[in-house]
Amino acid sequence: MATNEDRSAFGTPRPGMDRRTLLKTLGVGAVGIAGIPLLAACTGGTAPGAGATTSSSLTFGSGSSDDVPKAAYKAVTDAFTKKTNITVKTNVVPHNDFQNKISTYLQGSPDDAFTWFAGYRMQYYAAKGLLAPIDDVWQKVGANYSDAMKKASTGADGKMYFVPNYNYPWGFFYRKSLWAEKGYEVPTTFDALKTLCAKMKAGGLIPIEFADKDGWPAMGTFDYINMRLNGYQFHMDLTAHKESWDQKKVSDVFDTWKALLPYQNPAALGMTWQDAAISLGQKKSGMYLLGSFVTQQFTDKAILDDIDFFPFPAIAMEGQDAVEAPIDGLLLSKKGGENQAARDFMQFMGTPEGQDAYAKVDPSNIATAKGADTSSFSPLNKKCAQVIADAKSISQFFDRDALPAMANNVMIPALQGFIKDGTVDVKNLESQAKALYAAQ
């Protein structure tokens, strides 16, 4: 999941995913359910390109507020301005705040274009009429994308809304030199993972670095164990509530996870993912399950070159065929759809030129446009790209695949409670899911 954070520029003050605080998530929180009727009252967006007026400027809202991605998007806007003479005013908002207030933002005075995510988290707001379709943009950049990327960028109405910039795999990241020194070997099965964890703990390390102060990181562990135990399709059906939460398959996910709790950082609930990355870099922990954006925190090239990763081990189903690899990119607000300059910016982001500008500053992610420059890929970049390319199934991340309120209001407290004491009430999860999904 790559990352970001910073200024408050959304008209309304508020708190709160570092690309990942990724979540307290889509802005449909406690107020979320109450906010749903208001969202539903909105009407569809502007027709593709219809009524777009010529302009020499646009505004760009960014939740990419961590230093590296913030600088990378500045490189993109600078390159765009140099190419077109169109001015871009960027409003950077702390990642968590951006996600927590997205509904309020889109219903207020949003920027023309803004950073967001593919799949359901885009489709949800498109269906509420809060986004502008960009079929005209896709007519120009569509050849740069795979069918899978196109599908992830399509709304439920069949119109195009999203321009992918990059994606990134989640997996276990570790320092090669530490593993070589200790003689550790990459585990390919869950039993081998547990055995490795026991060795690491006996050697004085925190086996699995873990941080969940912001709520969303633990979702990655849930997603992988669920996919490895029950399969990709069950996971997707569960996030869509086509499967119930109060069944043995879900209880088995938490029971399996319990075996890892003694090996995860006991201070996890008080740590951000950035805090945990520091610990990994200092060789205080053996490995860290996170997205490849974790490497944004390693500014020392010696440490960065020492980072490697491996996919989540196999447990019961589909081996390691399913990969969590969220897609990040840009959307147009309904207002932005009326500004041709904003559409031109979206088009630029969908080209190898635009994505190369981003990747030169933030190489932690994998560009999605065909033809993007891969000549400077590090061995780690190449491995990340290959794991995504080889995947038979790709999930987006729980907070992107599920209903916003389910991710934010239900899963975050449930997972944090589980991390704290190892217990979870699946019947309660189901009752809440029933109410939330029925309200849609």
* Rounded CA separation 40/127 (Å): 8
| C-alpha to C-alpha distance for 79 and 65, rounded to whole angstroms | 19
Report the percentage of the chain scoring pLDDT > 70.
Answer: 88
Q: Which range, of 34-38, 205-209, 358-362, averages the lowest pLDDT?
A: 34-38
In the predicted model, what is the mean pLDDT of residues 174-179? 98
Q: What mean pLDDT is predicted for residues 350-359? A: 97
Look at residue 258 in the predicted model and tell me its pLDDT.
98
Model confidence at 52: pLDDT above 70: no
State the pLDDT at residue 51.
56
Q: How far apart are CA 353 and CA 343, in angstroms?
A: 16
Residue 179 has pLDDT above 90, yes or no: yes
Angstrom distance (rounded) from CA 176 to CA 309: 9
The predicted structure's pLDDT at residue 28: 36
Give the Cα separation of 325 and 2 in Å (integer): 10
| Alpha carbon 390 to its chain's center | 20
37: pLDDT strictly greater than 60 = no
β-strands 366-367, 162-167 pairing: antiparallel
CB 264 within 8 A of CB 143: no
d(CA 365, CA 193): 26
Q: Which residue has the higher pLDDT, 321 or 25?
A: 321
Q: Give dist(CA 339, CA 326) in Å, integer.
A: 28
Non-local CB neighbours of 257 within 8 Å, separated by 6+ positions: 221, 222, 225, 418
Q: Rounded to 10 degrees, what is the CA torsion of 395, 398, 402, 403? A: -150
pTM to 2 decimal places: 0.77
What integer pLDDT is reported at residue 27 of this predicted model?
Answer: 37
Query: What pLDDT is recorded for position 38?
Result: 28
Cα-based angle 347, 352, 356 (whole degrees, multiple of 5): 115
Which domains does the chain show, CATH number per domain?
A: 30-167+327-371 (3.40.190.10), 170-324+400-438 (3.40.190.10)
Average pLDDT, rounded, for the chain: 88
Give the separation between CA 397 and CA 24, rounded to whole angstroms: 13
Q: What is the mean pLDDT of residues 384-413?
A: 90
Residue range 368-397, pLDDT digits in tens: 999 999 888 899 999 998 898 888 888 999
DSSP string, 375-426: TT--HHHHHHHHHHHH-SEEE--HHHHS-HHIIIIIIHHHHHHHHHHS---H
Mean pLDDT of 242-251: 98
Per-residue pLDDT for 142 more than 50? yes
What's the confidence (pLDDT) of residue 53? 67
Instruction: Please compute the mean of the pLDDT values over residues 355-365 and round it to a whole number.
Output: 93
